[in-house]
Chain A
Amino acid sequence: MSTFKSLVFKRFNSNLKKTALHDLHVSLGGTMVPYAGYSMPVLYKGQTHIESHNWTRTNAGLFDVSHMLQSKLSGPHSIKFLQHVTPTDFNALPVGHGTLSVLLNPEGGVVDDTIVTKENQDNEFYIVTNAGCAKRDTEFLRGELQNNPALDCQWKIIEGRSLLALQGPKAKDVLEPLLEKTAKGKTLKELFFGQRDEFALKDGTLVQIARGGYTGEDGFEISVPDEKAVEFAEQLLANPVMKAIGLAARDSLRMEAGMCLYGHELDETITPVEAGLNWVISKSRRNLTNEKDRFNGYAKIMDQLNNKTYNRIRVAFKYLKKGPAARNGVKIFLPDAQTEVGLVTSGSASPSLNNINVGQGYVEKGHHKRGTELLVQVRNKFYPIELAKMPLVPTHYYKN
């Protein structure tokens, strides 16, 4: 038996960075693997991948996402800058709200996907981007700032803060008792999906809590000082409904939720229209007569949006029968098993759907409609799939 993807990971590599929770992961029996330059837990002792996945869907999971890049944009022209590199309307975004968006290169390709939150009225924004893209994002944002010297704003990486994600229907029950009300008397019950606010832990430590996440469940992403991260994580894990969950389940959970993973569903050759992310292109930013107001790749993206000039589009699929999973790089064919019409970008068994195989990929326009039956080719055999609605598993966001 040998693995297609390396099953046996190199365990210790001195070049790998460690998060503040690294030693806690090890003490919890985490299998540590290199991920985006960090040593990260893929699975913890005493749980299988499927158990971790199902636990998160029914109880609560703690994920260390400190490897993700937290940064801050500030200055009088920060909105202008954001609207140059993303297609989203940040004037319209209320204070304390965050939104998914994409950083665009001049050709309209996605440099990274990101959550951007408006922190206050003073044009300060909190930005979370992917760990794997940290180097490219930094180079890209600094480059764009240099190319637009008239824009008065600063972009800074936030150091010294861990990021913990709590996901699952019981996440709120675990978190709530550990918090004081906000300065304005706000409780967790009044923090809705997409919102972010500052709360104090019982010892007075200030943490910023955003409601949302990557699994489709209700949950939170909490920015906490590194020196408090272990203690806070241990308090969360002291509740028996909370378990530490690794990268393996994070991937299967996000796939069921229809979320993109950069490097799979997104890269610099893919536009947000092709990625099925039209909603990040705000309505108010689709008809900009003044060149200066336009975002990177505007002409191409608007042409794709208005005239459907794209050739491929992101889809989700389910297998119609059992079979080996169609993973990244597997070809998609018409039912004639001759005509290639697309490529799979992610795929695996879906623990929440009785382990039927699901996945995401790109198919040619015209064959992308929900319900279309196609074939995937795995090791010279063809397996029938049906294109399905995203998310594949219902989401449970806490919306007001």
Chain B
Amino acid sequence: MLRTTRLWTTRMPAVGRLFLRNNSSNALNKNKLPFLYSSQGPQAVRYTAQHEWIAVHQDKIAFVGITKYATDALGDATYVELPDVGTQIAQSESLGSIESVKSASEIYQPADGTVQEINTHLEENPGVVNEDPMGDGWLVKMKLDDNVNMEQVEGLMSLEQYEKTLVHDD
């Protein structure tokens, strides 16, 4: 979808590419709640092939959103549909959806957990998902199930692995 992004990254020399990753627009915004929730910051930030991100803190509280790459592809968000607080959602189940004028995109749960809070600010301001998808545009705050070990959840990627998939995303 994002041809410009891909051409640009593929043309970057190796050193430049590393630089790009460290400053990637798909990295979690360090000045916003999903990062600042705990004083030490998240233990892990992981990505799915469907362009969700999950930031997990020490107390198994996790924030979920969609990546900058995804919101760029989606265009202006016009509505964000989120689950009810208290809903238990297993990995890969639908967490909600994001609408643009042209299309609707389903969001999937990256790891088993229970919805503790939803970002109600998005009800009136869906555009925040475009402006700051890796920060203020977080969608859901989860309590992960006790048995979830982030290092063992299948299908989750590091930022570097995720961005490699974008280069080859045809």
Residue B147 lies at the interface, judged by CB distance under 8 Å to chain A: no
- A251 partner residues in chain B, CB cutoff 8 A: 102
A53 to B107 Cα, complex, angstroms: 26
Q: Let me know if A324 and B81 touch, CB within 8 A.
A: yes
Closest CB of chain B to A47's CB: distance in Å?
10
Residue A11 lies at the interface, judged by CB distance under 8 Å to chain B: yes
Residue B74 lies at the interface, judged by CB distance under 8 Å to chain A: yes
- A327 partner residues in chain B, CB cutoff 8 A: 104
Q: Let me know if B79 and A248 touch, CB within 8 A.
A: no
Closest CB of chain A to B110's CB: distance in Å?
11
Given contacts A2-B106, A322-B79, A325-B79, contact A7 B73 (CB under 8 A): yes
Closest CB of chain A to B125's CB: distance in Å?
11
Identify which of A2, A4, A31, A357 gathers the most chain B CB atoms within 10 Å of its CB: A2
Of the candidates B81, B97, B101, which one forms a contact with A348 in the assembled complex, judged by CB atoms under 8 Å apart? B101
Closest CB of chain B to A313's CB: distance in Å?
26
Q: Mark A38-63, 1 if CB is under 8 A from B, else 0.
A: 00001101001110010000000000
Q: Let me know if A50 and B79 touch, CB within 8 A.
A: no
A53 to B76 Cα, complex, angstroms: 12
Given contacts A325-B99, A349-B99, contact A1 B108 (CB under 8 A): yes
Chain A: residues with Cβ within 8 Å of the partner, total of 32
A248 to B100 Cα, complex, angstroms: 11
- B108 partner residues in chain A, CB cutoff 8 A: 1-2
- B74 partner residues in chain A, CB cutoff 8 A: 1, 7
- A184 partner residues in chain B, CB cutoff 8 A: none
Find residues 86-100 in chain B having any chain A CB closer than 8 Å to their own CB: 97-100
- B75 partner residues in chain A, CB cutoff 8 A: 43, 48-50, 248
- B106 partner residues in chain A, CB cutoff 8 A: 1-4
- B169 partner residues in chain A, CB cutoff 8 A: 8
Of the candidates B78, B98, B99, B101, which one forms a contact with A248 in the assembled complex, judged by CB atoms under 8 Å apart? B101
Residue A355 lies at the interface, judged by CB distance under 8 Å to chain B: yes
Residue B167 lies at the interface, judged by CB distance under 8 Å to chain A: no
- B100 partner residues in chain A, CB cutoff 8 A: 49, 349
A258 to B79 Cα, complex, angstroms: 22
Closest CB of chain A to B53's CB: distance in Å?
10
Q: Let me know if A3 and B105 touch, CB within 8 A.
A: yes
- What are the 5 tightest A-B residue pairs by CB atom distance, in nearest-first order? A349-B78, A1-B51, A50-B76, A48-B76, A3-B105
- Extra A-B contacts (19), CB below 8 Å, given A1-B66, A324-B79: A1-B50, A1-B108, A2-B106, A4-B104, A5-B103, A7-B74, A8-B169, A42-B102, A48-B76, A49-B101, A49-B102, A50-B101, A322-B123, A325-B104, A327-B104, A348-B78, A349-B100, A357-B79, A379-B81
Which B residues contact A (CB, under 8 angstroms)?
A: 1, 3-4, 50-52, 66, 70, 73-76, 78-79, 81, 97-108, 123, 169
28 contacts between A and B (CB under 8 A): A1-B50, A1-B52, A1-B74, A1-B108, A2-B106, A3-B104, A3-B105, A3-B106, A4-B104, A4-B105, A7-B103, A8-B1, A43-B75, A48-B75, A50-B75, A50-B76, A50-B78, A53-B101, A248-B75, A248-B101, A252-B101, A252-B102, A324-B81, A324-B97, A325-B78, A349-B78, A349-B100, A351-B101
Which A residues contact B (CB, under 8 angstroms)?
A: 1-5, 7-9, 11, 29, 31, 42-43, 45, 48-50, 53, 248, 251-252, 322-325, 327, 348-349, 351, 355, 357, 379
